[in-house]
Chains A and B, each alone.
Chain A
């Protein structure tokens, strides 16, 4: 390995030089306040390559580009890097990277966006190569120092040994020499066979737990900067409405208040010395809105529009096999049903918030984001500055679930406010009510399904028509080709690999009719697999019962061509004891679905009392995510997905009246609590031949398994959510 003067190398060299002047261990060229953990804040060491910084004591600091919001990606990615690096897992620390630095270094850390359950599956290849390259450079440095062939060296736990000469040395001692070598070509690196993994694939403890237990962890909402002011904001309660005026004089003399300011066209903020004072003054501030035509919209008008889409002519068919409509029309036995699911908010417990400092030539923000580069773009655009003039300090999220992705509305607002206080840090925090009123909600939809069976109960044809709002139409219109938005049919796709329909039906038609509303929509943990999973799997239950067949057997007969879908269904059925006796009054339901390149299935056990009271006793979930990087954290995600799914199934509903959202806090938007938590058993069945997601895939089978168990208990299908509106007795 010889030194070159390539640009990437130069940039790396600059880091080393700038810190060498400081003496001692080599520090990074950019400052690291407030990032992630205590270890990160004191990080000082040698950057061997973009992914690995080695400190003199051989602690290996692994750089993490994806956002940590509880899903454990930080630990999983560190495991993958450490596995190839061959370092001592007990001496692994992590630090976040900065999107401004990523741009300046030609996106050396790749895509920083964290959504779609892509954190691990989307970066596993290059982070493992990053760890391996660092190991190779450290070993090369030892070989050059000892003047022996690198092939004679062995490495374990960050200690390199030359057995023949009985010499050994540590990563910490080699880091500076290694950093001066040219990195190997990533393509030439041979990665370990996962069968040989010692760190990855194991249930390692999370690296980020300690300061979550003592109040020490600094979330974005906890940030303190010298001279900081706080802002509370209110946008027009009707989506799309405009700010007309506000009477600042009425609140100007309230304690701590600095100013009331316009925030673009549709919102107003009060800025004060504390957030509580800002919020108190905002509530007292007289505001005049122009609510616009959307004020006439309600849940009823929206439902009518969706209902019209169930039979309208403008739908497009993403799947058309045979002639489903004709076959169903002529079938001896027909089943038909209409399902519906509501808008849902994300309800992260940490409110939307962002701290911004804007000067004439610079914008800096501290925020909780699933899209650090999106935050950078939003901040710079709002400040009217080029990307190179901005930086984003990422703090771990107090919940994300899709809310804190590319939209970055709260980052824009914070910058719009801070721009009016040049040089002063302003922390914007939304109230819970603002958060519920201005989310990017899970889209509302309805689904009409019909099926035809022959006399023996064999499925001849199926027709699925989804009518509802499009996420792409709101956030990413460019993704809609010729008016066809396949994203809303996620989980019903014919293509293998990501979210494939798991049954073979001889005549099959799957359609989508786009029916948009004035309510903003966006990805919500699991996105469209959640609604589509309910529609398909609950209807499949209705069809199985109409056919007079066992729910599991009926599905199995249609799944011979989909062995991985079938594999998880069988695993859930086996662990769930499908077909085995249950205590009196307890009933089972089953479901399978695919999303995020992973296969999921669930068995639920429920009872429904004579008064209609539902109790969910136990849920077994099976997941095939290909490679299981941290089985304990996968189980944690599955357990959490049950809670997320059940909150939606039991209570989740955001309704619209006079153009605005009705449920503004947790007394009207309840979430599942501990007493309602069923016992969850997770069965991970990784086939090790692909990389699938973990954070989202299992939610979509939770609700249909429960609804199918309710059907078994009551003899009646549930076709509309949430269950709080459904009488079960």
Chain B
């Protein structure tokens, strides 16, 4: 039994110590916006925020979580889908199949949280999640557009 703070709510979860956070979020808590892609922290489909840092939840064990850690999943990024990254993604029709986009959006939101006006090189360094449909050109444009929204806000 562990207590996790996910999207601001305290959840009691039942999982063996070696269970990845990803599977606790998906199967115990029931939030399926966070995706399983590779299981080895390569693709980033499982990206969530832990204390504001983007982390690949397939490779974070539940036993590594500390009391007070704040976990935010795609479902908790904004109440109404109004985060600048979500708005930019909608404006540019970034997603194709959409499966990796929860992770891409979480990675982009974490980047803008630390660096509100990222350069292309900053985006290259931070946005390392795999998109098999190949939406990278629009992801880059989306990060820049979201940065503009942040600047004007």
Q: Give the B-binding residues of A (Cβ under 8 A).
A: 69-72, 205-206, 208-210, 212-219, 221-222, 224, 230, 255, 274-277, 280, 347-351, 396-401, 429, 431-432, 632-633, 636, 639-644, 665-667, 671-675, 677, 679-680
> Is B19 an interface residue, CB under 8 A from the partner?
yes
| Residue ID in chain B nearest A429 by CB atoms | B36
- Check B38 against A206 for contact (C-beta < 8 Å): no
- Check A215 against B93 for contact (C-beta < 8 Å): no
Other than the given A215-B33, A396-B98, 13 more pairs (CB < 8 A) read A69-B97, A70-B95, A72-B96, A213-B105, A219-B99, A221-B35, A275-B23, A349-B131, A398-B98, A432-B37, A674-B131, A675-B124, A677-B137
List B contacts of A674 (CB < 8 A): 123-124, 127-129, 131, 136, 139-140
- Check A673 against B35 for contact (C-beta < 8 Å): no
- Check A397 against B130 for contact (C-beta < 8 Å): no
A/B interface sample: 25 pairs, CB < 8 A:
A70-B133, A209-B89, A212-B95, A213-B86, A213-B95, A213-B105, A215-B74, A221-B35, A276-B23, A348-B132, A349-B43, A401-B132, A432-B37, A632-B93, A636-B96, A636-B135, A640-B135, A643-B133, A643-B134, A665-B38, A666-B130, A667-B42, A673-B136, A674-B123, A675-B127
The docked-state distance in angstroms from the alpha carbon of A667 to that of B38 is 10
List B contacts of A209 (CB < 8 A): 89-90, 93, 95, 98
- Check A639 against B137 for contact (C-beta < 8 Å): yes
- Check B33 against A675 for contact (C-beta < 8 Å): no
Taking CB atoms and an 8 Å cut-off, the chain B residues in 113-153 that contact chain A are: 123-125, 127-140
Q: Which of A230, A431, A644 contacts B134 (CB 8 A)?
A: A644
DSSP majority for the A interface?
loop
Chain B 66-108, CB-CB to A under 8 Å as 1, else 0, gives 0000000111011001000010011001011111111001000
* Contact A212 B35, CB 8 Å, known A276-B20, A349-B130, A674-B139: no
Question: 10 tightest CB-CB pairs across the interface, nearest first?
Answer: A215-B33, A643-B134, A398-B99, A70-B97, A212-B98, A70-B96, A640-B134, A675-B124, A215-B74, A222-B32
| Residue ID in chain B nearest A215 by CB atoms | B33
List B contacts of A208 (CB < 8 A): 98
List B contacts of A69 (CB < 8 A): 97
List A contacts of B139 (CB < 8 A): 674
The docked-state distance in angstroms from the alpha carbon of A209 to that of B92 is 10
Number of interface residues of B (CB under 8 A): 59
Closest CB in chain A relative to B26 CB, distance in Å: 8
List A contacts of B34 (CB < 8 A): 215
List B contacts of A216 (CB < 8 A): 33, 75
| Residue ID in chain A nearest B127 by CB atoms | A674
Closest CB in chain A relative to B35 CB, distance in Å: 7
List B contacts of A643 (CB < 8 A): 131-134, 136
List B contacts of A351 (CB < 8 A): 36
List A contacts of B137 (CB < 8 A): 639, 677, 679-680
List B contacts of A396 (CB < 8 A): 97-98
| Residue ID in chain A nearest B128 by CB atoms | A673
* Contact A666 B40, CB 8 Å, known A70-B133, A640-B96, A674-B136: yes
- Check A215 against B23 for contact (C-beta < 8 Å): no
- Check A641 against B38 for contact (C-beta < 8 Å): no
The docked-state distance in angstroms from the alpha carbon of A72 to that of B140 is 20
The docked-state distance in angstroms from the alpha carbon of A212 to that of B73 is 14
* Contact A639 B134, CB 8 Å, known A71-B96, A349-B37, A350-B99: yes
List A contacts of B26 (CB < 8 A): 222
Chain B 1-33, CB-CB to A under 8 Å as 1, else 0, gives 000000000000001101110010011101111
> Is B39 an interface residue, CB under 8 A from the partner?
yes
The docked-state distance in angstroms from the alpha carbon of A212 to that of B95 is 7
| Residue ID in chain A nearest B75 by CB atoms | A215
* Contact A70 B98, CB 8 Å, known A276-B19, A641-B134, A643-B136: yes
